[in-house]
Amino acid sequence: MATSKAEPKNDVKPEEKYQGLTTKQLTQFYRTIYLSRRLDDREILLKRQQKIFFQISGAGHEALMVAAAAALKPGYDWFYPYYRDRALTLSLGMTPYEQLLQSVGAADDPSSGGRQMPSHWASRKLNIVTQSSPTGTQLLQAVGCAEAGRYFSSHPEAAEKHDGDYRAFKNVVFHGDEVVYVSCGEGTTSQGEFWEAINSASNLKLPVLFVVEDNEYAISVPVEVQTAGGNISRLVANFPDFHFEEVDGTDAIASYAAFSRAVEHLRARRGPAFVHGHVIRPYSHSLSDDERLYRPEAERQEQVKRDPITRLQMFLIREGIIDEKGINRLEKEVDEEVQEATDRALSAPLAERDSWKRFIYSPDIDPTSNAFLHPPDAPKAAKDEKTPDKTMADLINACLKDEMRRDARIVMFGEDVADCTREQYLKQKQVKGKGGVFKLTSGLQCEFGSDRVFNSPLAEATIVGRAVGMATRGLKPVVEIQFFDYIWPAMHQLRNELPLIRWRSNNGFSSPAVVRVAIGGYLTGGAVYHSQCSESIFTHIPGLRVVFPSNALDANGLLRTAIRCDDPVMFLEHKRLYRETYGRAPYPGPEHMIPFGKARTVRQGDDITVITYGAVVPRTLQAAQRIERDHGVTVELLDLRTLSPYDWDAIASAVRKTSRVIVAYEDVLSWGYGAEIAARIADELFEDLDAPVRRVAAKDTFVAYQPLVEDAILPQADDLYEAMVKLAEF
């Protein structure tokens, strides 16, 4: 690296004159800024030569970024950057070669193994957490990351490794004064998740450094469309405990001063910080955009005057820190470095065609294996009035308690999951506590404390987004979505983040959180917004395990598998089954586990197979008993228990046995979960069939409030019976 030995002309100490920066650091700033720009330029060239396939630049943001990095510590603090942060990631220690490996889609691309577009940074070593393309999804995760850091600081024992579950593969490192950096553009501040993240960080006084890189455009949409009044700093100014900075982000020294003050506030644990940097965007949004279509020449020229490269170069020369010769030497050296990195990257082995198969799920723990087979303990006492069988709600609660006792990394939150947020009411025994609208988490806060079991704001993206950040750091969040009907605000996190963290980072990061969701109808008055079932939307997502138990014992055993495994799990709990008489069981002990992807034969039969799950299981059982009574037809009833993965072997052998099959499910008939099963049976078992595959499901509408109409909409035992009779006659 070329640095000048020249000292400032006057006798003011560099540290004072340059906000604590030495001349060496300033020269290094220039080098990184220039390097970052040259890498962008090189990528632009490579894209035009069709040697890479996408380009988005960090041009104009570089000064702010080198300043941020200088105030923080790589591999110590945590980083959730966005695509304009090339100069930040270079300053933290990523090399040009590593960055270009991503551009060409190389096998050794450390960020994603050829899976993500360029500028989607990740580095385990440097604590740069895998980044995605949706604008703003990183913000809540950064909050969760900071919460995890705080949790481990106050529960250091939780960080210890443990064999026998996901903890064996999750190294936890934390520091008492660590900071979590997260950045976004000013356009992204329009996302609801931005406000949710700011709100939670403020409320919890978390050490999150929010950086808004304001280049005044989100592709072609100017800031006045995004932000009321045109200035985000003004809007966030009243969030408590924040340290705020608004700075010219093309001025590296002023930016460094702003970050230094912010980081001091953060390390002293006084609350979060917000740095609003005014930057420029001298290139179009990306190479897929042409800004001349919406920005006139005069406006584009205006910002050139603020280009951070020329600004810092002129400053260094003016101050006598480096002369023109020195600049030329430094730039030549950088150009050679870029050339060398480009040559190497272009000849690096590309990601292999079948590499897509790797890391959809954990390579370390297979929840479908027999390691997760642990039968229930024999009941301690014979069934009598003192040990009545437990409901599904009881046994889910029991599993949560057992696992929390066993694993200090488990934290639980969601809407109303705490016994009582105002702890003093519990302590003074003024109240008994709530513990969930369905009481599934009852007593957990009382036993495990308010830092392990707590209420979240009424914001589903917050629940899942924070859980993703926590799980990335090694905690095991087991969060609750109160009603499936209200899961949709979390969809971004559930579809684009939770199940993708591992795959998109080529196993660099993982996020094995458990999301418990109360689902389903048959409630007599549940109506449109308390009865929904759309599980196939989630079984459609690679990387996510989806579980849907039908009885108390399965719920207990499968939930334990969900918690101990190393993959993200959506655990669907049918509200109607929570306290049903059907499927109660004695407490199975603290180790009961059922592997994923293993169906249960509820009932043996020779004539018809019904494949189903959830609340349709008891209804099918009723219908099966009736058709046997009425017609002597015997039904083989298969309860899938887990929907992704599902037990194809069990399906195939049951279908081969009976040659007639019904797939039954509570969701609307069309495009439902049964369509996939029916299609695969038709495809692979066609010759074993004596009749067409039939489906029994809800009508293609929503669930109505009036119970008579609700009955007509949802699949009933009568519907199943009729379908069985017709199929037997076919």
Ligand X SMILES: Cc1ncc(C[n+]2csc(CCOP(=O)(O)OP(=O)(O)O)c2C)c(N)n1
Residue (182 or 365) nearer to ligand X, CB: 182
Which range, of 164-172, 173-181, 186-194, 509-517, touches ligand X by CB under 6 A?
Answer: 186-194
**Residue 518 interacts with ligand X (CB under 6 A)?**
no
First to last CA, the chain: 81
Query: Which residue in the set 101, 218, 263, 515 belongs to the binding site for ligand X (CB under 6 A)?
Result: 218
Residue (497 or 719) nearer to ligand X, CB: 497
**Residue 187 interacts with ligand X (CB under 6 A)?**
yes
Residue in 363, 346, 224, 206 with CA at minimum distance from that of residue 270: 206
Using Cβ positions, the residue closest to ligand X within the complex turns out to be 185
Residue in 422, 421, 412 with CA at minimum distance from that of residue 452: 412
Q: How far apart are CA 702 and CA 69, in angstroms?
A: 52
Residues 114-133 that bind ligand X (CB under 6 A): 133
Which range, of 184-192, 373-381, 554-562, 600-608, touches ligand X by CB under 6 A?
Answer: 184-192
Residue-wise burial string across 151-167, b where 16 or more C-beta atoms lie within 10 A, e elsewhere: bbeebeebbeeeeebbb
Q: What is the nearest approach in angstroms of ligand X to the Cβ of residue 250?
A: 14
Q: What is the nearest approach in angstroms of ligand X to the Cβ of residue 133?
A: 5
Which range, of 212-220, 293-301, 336-344, 679-687, touches ligand X by CB under 6 A?
Answer: 212-220
Binding mask 280-319 toward ligand X (x if CB under 6 A, else -) reads -----x----------------------------------
DSSP letter at 497?
I
Q: Three-state SS for 440? A: coil
Q: What are phi and psi of 250, to 5 degrees?
A: -95, -5
Q: What is the nearest approach in angstroms of ligand X to the Cβ of residue 185?
A: 2
Q: In which element (H, E) is residue 412 found?
A: strand 410-414
Q: What is the nearest approach in angstroms of ligand X to the Cβ of residue 255?
A: 16
Q: What is the nearest approach in angstroms of ligand X to the Cβ of residue 215?
A: 5
Residue (166 or 217) nearer to ligand X, CB: 217
Query: Which residue in the set 219, 373, 679, 682 belongs to the binding site for ligand X (CB under 6 A)?
Result: 219
Going by their DSSP bridges, the two strands 608-612 and 600-603 should be labelled as: unpaired
352, 115 contact by CB (below 8 A)? no
Residues 644-673 that bind ligand X (CB under 6 A): none
Residue (136 or 597) nearer to ligand X, CB: 136
**Residue 217 interacts with ligand X (CB under 6 A)?**
yes
Q: How far apart are CA 122 and CA 119, in angstroms?
A: 9
**Contacts from 166-172 at CB under 8 Å and sequence distance 24+?**
166/362, 166/365, 166/476, 166/512, 166/564, 166/565, 166/566, 167/407, 167/409, 167/474, 168/364, 169/362, 169/364, 169/365, 169/566, 170/474, 170/510, 170/566, 171/474, 172/473, 172/474
Q: What is the nearest approach in angstroms of ligand X to the Cβ of residue 61?
A: 7
Q: How far apart are CA 591 and CA 135, in angstroms?
A: 41
Query: Which residue in the set 141, 188, 506, 556 belongs to the binding site for ligand X (CB under 6 A)?
Result: 188
Q: What is the nearest approach in angstroms of ligand X to the Cβ of residue 89?
A: 15
Residue (135 or 138) nearer to ligand X, CB: 135
**Residue 55 interacts with ligand X (CB under 6 A)?**
no
Write a three-state SS string for 118-134. Answer: CCCCCECCCCECCCCCC
Q: How far apart are CA 346 and CA 598, in angstroms?
A: 46
Catalytic residue among 276, 530, 574, 592: 530
Which range, of 30-38, 215-223, 462-470, 629-637, touches ligand X by CB under 6 A?
Answer: 215-223
**Residue 207 interacts with ligand X (CB under 6 A)?**
no
Residue-wise burial string across 78-108, b where 16 or more C-beta atoms lie within 10 A, e elsewhere: bbbbbbbbbbbbbbbebebbbbbbbbbbbeb
Is 530 an active-site residue?
A: yes
Binding mask 66-85 toward ligand X (x if CB under 6 A, else -) reads ------------------x-
Whether the bond into 118 is cis, omega within 30 of 0? no
Q: What is the nearest approach in angstroms of ligand X to the Cβ of residue 221?
A: 7
Q: How far apart are CA 597 and CA 586, in angstroms?
A: 24
Contacts of 7 (CB under 8 A, 6+ apart): 14, 23, 320
Binding mask 130-149 toward ligand X (x if CB under 6 A, else -) reads ---xxx--------------
Residue (135 or 505) nearer to ligand X, CB: 135
Residue (212 or 408) nearer to ligand X, CB: 212
Q: What is the nearest approach in angstroms of ligand X to the Cβ of residue 122?
A: 17
Residue in 212, 200, 143, 206 with CA at minimum distance from that of residue 177: 206
Active-site residues: which are they? 530
- Interface positions with ligand X (CB under 6 A): 84, 133-135, 184-188, 213, 215, 217-219, 285
